[in-house]
């Protein structure tokens, strides 16, 4: 179903797949700087992203509505919304606040 997840039933498995940034705001203003960036989550608890322009791999966990990417330094993303096909993340990167709208890409099977 397309309903939002509640924080009590959200888990890492809900994120498994490939996600693409389709719209972003930086400090409250629309930006195309990170459009097209990818987030890939696997079923073993690992993710990679190129949100900063460089591929960053590491493990990830979900605690309530916070996605924690464990890499060279932990990055915390607040999950504002999650449906089967879309999600919205909020993150502070290099002192800038980003709101990211992502869509799940369909597998080619």
Measured CA to CA, the distance from residue 50 to residue 56 in angstroms comes to 6
pLDDT in tens, 30-77: 999 999 999 999 999 999 999 988 899 999 999 989 999 998 889 999
Q: What domain count does the chain have?
A: 1
Q: What confidence category does residue 19 fall into, taking pLDDT thresholds of 50, 70 and 90? A: very high
Measured CA to CA, the distance from residue 29 to residue 47 in angstroms comes to 27
Q: Residue 44 is part of a domain; what is its CATH number?
A: 2.40.128.280
Q: Is the pLDDT of residue 8 over 80?
A: no
Structural domain for 75, as ranges: 15-105
Asked if residue 25 is part of any domain, the answer here is: yes
Asked if residue 34 is part of any domain, the answer here is: yes
């Amino acid at each position: 179903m397309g309903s939002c997840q509640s924080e009590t039933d959200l888990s890492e498995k809900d994120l498994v797949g490939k996600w693409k940034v389709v719209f972003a705001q930086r400090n409250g203003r629309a930006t195309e700087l990170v459009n097209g960036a990818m987030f890939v989550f696997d079923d073993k608890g690992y993710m990679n992203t190129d949100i900063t322009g460089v591929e960053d791999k590491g493990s990830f966990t979900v605690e309530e509505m916070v996605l924690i990417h464990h890499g060279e330094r932990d990055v915390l993303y607040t999950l504002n919304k999650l449906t089967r096909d879309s999600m919205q993340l909020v993150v502070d990167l290099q002192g800038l606040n980003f709101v990211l709208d992502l869509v799940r890409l369909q597998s080619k099977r």
